[in-house]
Structure 1
Amino acid sequence: MIKLIQTYFKIASAVAPTLAGNHAFELFQRPLNKKIRKKEMSFFKVAKLFKIKHYLEDIHCYELGNPAGKLVLLVHGWESNAASMSAIGLKLAEAGHHVILFNLPAHGFSKLKKANIKMCKEVFLEVINHLNPKQPFSIVSHSFGSAVTAYALSKTTHQVDQLIFLTSPNKITQIFEDYANFIGLNQKALKQLCQRAENILHEPLEAIRTDLLHKKIRYNRLLLLHDSQDKVIPKANSIAIYNQWPNSELELLENTGHYKMLWNEEVIESVMKQFSSSPETEEKSLYAVAF
Structure 2
Amino acid sequence: MIFVKYRWLRPSLFLASLIISVFFLVASSSILEYSITILLSLILSYNFILELWIGMAFISPGNKKKMFTETGWSSSYHNLSTQIHAKSHFDEIKRPLVIIIHGWRSGAISMQSRAETYIKMGMHVIIFEMPGHGASEPVAKWTAGHAAVTFHEFFESLEPQFNMDLVSKIFLHGHSMGGFVLLKFNNLATSNIQYDKICGYILESPLTCYSFIFEETIKQLFIPRFLVNHYWKRLRSHFNTVNPKLTSVEDITEVDIPFWGSINNDLLLIQAEQDDVLGRRHYDRLVNVQSDLKENHFTFDEHLVPSLTHAQSRKNIDRDAIIEDWVKERIHSDSLTSA
Q: Normalising TM by the smaller chain, what interval? A: 0.7 to 0.9
2:61 aligned with 1:61, yes or no? no
Q: Name the residue aligned to 1:10.
A: none
Q: Are 2:138 and 1:112 equivalent residues in the alignment?
A: yes
1:17–1:241 distance in 2 versus 1, CA, 3 Å: farther
**For residues 39-58 of structure 1, what are the alpha-carbon distances to aligned partners after superposition, in whole Å with 9 as ceiling and x for unaligned?**
xx54566521112122422x
CA contact (8 A) 1:154 1:214 kept: yes
Q: Cα offset for 1:155? A: 0.7
Cα pair 1:49 1:60 within 8 Å, conserved: yes
SS at 1:226 equivalent: strand
Distance 1:32 1:150, change over 3 A: closer
Residue 22 and residue 255 in structure 1: after superposition, are their counterparts in 2 closer, same or farther (change >3 A)?
A: farther
Between the aligned partners of 1:198 and 1:49, the Cα distance in structure 2 is 32
Please point out which of 199, 204, 214 is paired with 1:166.
204
User: Cα–Cα, structure 1 residues 206 and 65, in superposed 2: closer, same or farther, change >3 Å?
Assistant: same
2:235 to 153, 171, 193: 193
- How far off is 1:111 after superposition? 4.2
Q: Is the 8 A contact 1:18 1:189 kept in 2?
A: no
Deviation per CA, 1:106-128: give whole Å up to 9, x if none: 11123414421122012201221
Aligned to 1:276: 328
Corresponding residue for residue 109 of structure 2: 83
Q: How many residues align?
A: 261
- The answer to whether the Cα contact below 8 Å between 2:87 and 2:127 also exists between their aligned partners in 1 is yes
Structure having the higher Rg:
2
Within 2, Cα distance between the matches of 1:145 and 1:18? Answer: 33
8 A Cα contact 2:205 2:270, kept in partner: yes
More displaced 10-residue stretch of structure 1: 82-91 or 270-279: 270-279
Are 1:52 and 2:78 counterparts? yes
CA contact (8 A) 1:75 1:101 kept: yes
Contact 1:31–1:78 (8 Å) recurs in 2: no
- Dislocated runs of 4+, deviation >6 Å: none
| Cα deviation, residue 192, structure 1 | 2.2
Alpha-carbon distance between aligned partners in 1 of 2:236 and 2:259, rounded to the nearest angstrom: 20
Supply the RMSD in Å over aligned alpha carbons. Answer: 2.8
SS at structure 2 position matched to 1:60 = strand
1:36 corresponds to which residue?
65
Q: In the superposition, relative to structure 1, how do residues 104 and 275 fare at CA in structure 2: closer, same or farther (>3 Å)?
A: same
Q: Tell me if 1:72 matches 2:106.
A: no
**Cα pair distance change 1:198/1:266, threshold 3 Å:** same
For residues 82-117 of structure 1, give each alpha carbon's deviation from its aligned partner in whole angstroms, at most 9, with x where no partner exists.
221111111111211111112111111234144211
1:203 equivalent in structure 2: 248
Structure 2 length-normalised TM:
0.69
SS of equivalent residue, structure 2 residue 77 = strand
Gaps (5+ residues) in structure 1?
Answer: 1-14, 280-291
Q: Which deviates further from its counterpart, 27-36 or 72-81?
A: 27-36
Worse-matched range after superposition: 196-205 or 159-168: 196-205
Change (3 A) 1:274 1:140: same
Alignment partner, residue 153 of structure 2: 126
Aligned with 1:260: secondary structure? coil
Give the Cα separation in 1 of the matches to 2:214 and 2:279. 15
CA 1:256/1:71 → structure 2, altered by over 3 Å: closer, same or farther?
Answer: same
2: CA distance, partners of 1:113 / 1:155 = 22
How far is the alpha carbon of 1:143 from its aligned partner?
A: 0.4
**Which consecutive residues of structure 2, in runs of 5 or more, have no partner in the other structure?**
1-43, 294-298, 332-339
Equivalent in the alignment of 1:27: 56
Shift, 1:242, TM fit: 1.5
Separation in structure 2 between the aligned mates of residue 183 and residue 43 of structure 1, nearest angstrom: 40
Opposite residue 185 of structure 1, the aligned amino acid is: I
SS at match of 2:188: coil
Distance 1:267 1:18, change over 3 A: farther
Cα distance in 1, alignment partners of residues 307 and 63 from structure 2: 25
Residue 225 (structure 1) aligns with: 270
1:138 maps to 2:171: yes
Counterparts of 2:118 and 2:90 in 1: how far apart (Å)? Answer: 8
Equivalent residue letter for 2:313? M
